[in-house]
Amino acid sequence: MKLLVTGGAGYVGSVVTRLLLDAGHQVVVLDNLVTGHERAVPQGATLVRAPVQEAATVLTPDAGFDGVVHFAGLIAAGESMVRPEVYWHENMTASLALLDAMRAAGVRRLVFSSSAAVYGDPVEVPIPETAATAPTSTYGATKLAFDYAIRSETVAHKLAAVSLRYFNVAGALIRPDVRIGERHDPETHLIPIALQVAAGKRARLQLFGDDYPTSDGTCVRDYIHVADLADAHLRALDAATPGDHRIYNLGSGSGFTNKQVVDVVREVTGHPVPVELAPRRPGDPAALVASSAKAEAELGWVRNRPTLRDMVEDAWTFMRDETVMREEPA
Ligand code: UFG
């Protein structure tokens, strides 16, 4: 297939792009490089440096695209609570422009990078796809709103669509020939921040709240390896059916408290990770754990790097490589 990958210079988008190329697909990456990195775009993909709002300039009727994998967007739940207007613009308005461009070009296959944040504080854990959606953050609300737009498009205009609701993505793609990992700037995620502390790049980790109704008072999250998550996108592209909007949760079925995560980082790195207690971060649900039974049954999805230790080890390998690369003289 010829595919447009929006946000293909970002963390998950670049790993998916690598796997798509390996599977023989042709990939054009659309990325404005505001949060993405040019060097993250895998060799073999063509980079078009432009915002998603300008998707129509690439997705022309003659360009021959078979589908779109849509990652581009803002991802920090905490930030979305203080800059909601930016999140609505980047995640919703831009995504609607993409849908318009796809319709005009006759491109009728879409895989959308959605989020567990659409569920908010769950009533049922592990969370199935049928659970009520009540996002606690603007970020989650923008992801849910675009799911509704996709749903309308499948019904009215026969789009074939799959939304993948990620839980907490971690790790890196580590192969002899390839290293692709997380390079957010500023970093807001727990595992890379804890690794930065272990690497001596930060003095301490701030732990946002220890009074949640969980076993040790810190939030519980379900971690999924980025390579396993990426594999689900290729399966979703194949499974997409005209007129149907499928939704799959992607996680592991088990959760770890933030304190447990920090303990695994200490074990893997062998470094102390000093922690300082800080107030709760607005928009954080207490516990998010996925049921991925539907993705396993319908997409044949299996996790090859399933443990939190696998993910932390790969993220640590990537971070150390990056540090060496940056310290090398030009
Ligand atoms: N946390 C800290 N200190 C930090 C960073 C994070 O205590 O310095 C805590 C957070 O408060 C939260 C947990 O670690 O309790 C995980 O936070 P992350 O920022 O790593 O991840 P989130 O759970 O907020 O969000 C991630 C993705 C979202 C996705 C969500 C689904 O960024 O896109 O997982 O679970 F929606």
Name the closest-CA residue to atom 12, ligand 1: 219
Query: What residues does each domain of the chain span?
Result: 2-167+224-250, 173-220+254-289+305-327
pLDDT class for 329, splitting at 50, 70, 90? very low
Its sign, for the CA torsion 144, 48, 103, 1, is negative
State the distance from the centre of ligand 1 to the C-alpha of 23, rounded, in angstroms: 31
| Interval 88-131: pLDDT, tens | 999 999 999 999 999 999 999 999 999 999 999 888 899 999 99
Mean pLDDT of 207-235: 98
| Cα–Cα distance for residue pair 251/167, rounded to 1 Å | 5
| Interval 240-265: pLDDT, tens | 999 999 999 999 999 999 999 999 99
What CATH number belongs to 2-167+224-250? Answer: 3.40.50.720
| Ligand 1 atom nearest to CA at 140 | 36
| Ligand 1 atom nearest to CA at 218 | 15
The pLDDT value given to residue 226: 98
State the distance from the centre of ligand 1 to the C-alpha of 283, rounded, in angstroms: 10
State the distance from the centre of ligand 1 to the C-alpha of 275, rounded, in angstroms: 16
| Interval 7-65: pLDDT, tens | 999 999 999 999 999 999 999 999 999 999 999 999 999 999 999 999 999 999 999 99
What amino acid positions are annotated as catalytic residues? 139
Residues enclosing ligand 1, CB less than 6 A?
Answer: 75, 77, 115-117, 167-168, 188-190, 193, 205-208, 219, 221, 258, 281, 284, 288
Q: What is the pTM of this model?
A: 0.96
Residue 129 is classified by DSSP as T
Long-range contacts of 242-245 (CB under 8 A, 24+ apart): 242/108, 242/154, 242/158, 242/159, 242/160, 243/154, 243/155, 243/158, 243/159, 243/160, 244/154, 244/160, 244/161, 245/147, 245/150, 245/151, 245/154, 245/159, 245/161, 245/162, 245/163
pLDDT class for 184, splitting at 50, 70, 90? confident
| Interval 143-175: pLDDT, tens | 999 999 999 999 999 999 999 999 999 999 999
pLDDT class for 292, splitting at 50, 70, 90? very high
Q: 173-220+254-289+305-327 adopts what CATH topology?
A: UDP-galactose 4-epimerase; domain 1 (3.90.25)
Name the closest-CA residue to atom 34, ligand 1: 168
Alpha helices in the chain (DSSP H): 11-22, 77-82, 84-87, 94-105, 138-157, 190-198, 226-239, 258-269, 293-299, 308-327
State the distance from the centre of ligand 1 to the C-alpha of 293, rounded, in angstroms: 23
